[in-house]
Amino acid sequence: MRIVGGKYRGRVLAAFKGKEVRPTSDRAKEALFNILAPEISGANVLDLFCGTGGIGLEALSRGADLVVFNDVSKDSLAILRKNLSLLRADAKVYNLDYRELLDSIDITFDVIYIDPPYKSGCGEDALRRIAARGLLNTGGVAVLESDKPFEGEIENLVRYDERRYGIAHLTFFTPD
């Protein structure tokens, strides 16, 4: 895992070994940040199912003001903290179930990245909670990564784009 752009570009990050973890590919990450470029500088970013933090760390590298990381895996967060230390970067890190975080957080975001385990079904529920609580700022972007095209509709969010990179489908939403 590495940073593909910004002030930490090219930095190699600590990552899990093995097949049980599925970090977003460098190709998908670079394409994502090319799309999000205008929204990242100075932004509040939530990396909801962050794993070891590849997306949020990329956002920090590209000038985000605040990145909030959340994951239920203490092992993943230990690697994330190691990477934050390696980069000498600051962020908020939570070890909560996504529902608990979304139901209690008092920050609104310009970018929210949602990358739950592919077969979990948590992505749609997370989007509904984000919309219901108004956690996405006007003009903000929520991105759902999944293994198949997203077919649902989310009240108060408009789907405006979808991209595929290998097995990863990225679906983009903004408040309506």
Residues contacting residue 22 through CB under 8 Å, at least 6 positions apart: 51, 118
Q: Name which of 134, 133, 126, 140 is nearest 40 in CA terms.
A: 140
88-109 tens-digit pLDDT: 999 999 999 999 999 999 999 9
- How far is the C-alpha of 84 from the C-alpha of 76, rounded, in Å? 12
Sign of the C-alpha dihedral computed for residues 59, 60, 66 and 72 taken in this order: positive
Examine the pLDDT at 1 and tell me if it is beyond 80. Answer: yes
125-169 tens-digit pLDDT: 999 999 999 999 999 999 999 999 999 899 999 999 999 998 999
**pLDDT at residue 128, as a whole number:** 98
Q: pLDDT over 70 for what percent of the chain? A: 97
- How far is the C-alpha of 22 from the C-alpha of 144, rounded, in Å? 15
For 11, 18, 20, 86, 92, the CA distances from 112, given in Å and listed in that order, are 23, 27, 24, 24, 14
Examine the pLDDT at 20 and tell me if it is beyond 60. Answer: no
Architecture of domain 26-175: 3-Layer(aba) Sandwich (3.40)
H/E stretch holding 103: helix 98-104
**pLDDT at residue 121, as a whole number:** 86
- How far is the C-alpha of 55 from the C-alpha of 139, rounded, in Å? 20
**pLDDT at residue 18, as a whole number:** 55
**pLDDT at residue 28, as a whole number:** 84
User: Could you tell me which residue, 27 or 108, shows the higher pLDDT?
Assistant: 108
User: For the chain, what is the mean pLDDT?
Assistant: 93
Examine the pLDDT at 17 and tell me if it is beyond 90. Answer: no
Q: Find the mean pLDDT for residues 82-87.
A: 96
- How far is the C-alpha of 94 from the C-alpha of 151, rounded, in Å? 30
- Phi first, then psi, for residue 125 (nearest 5°) are -60, -40
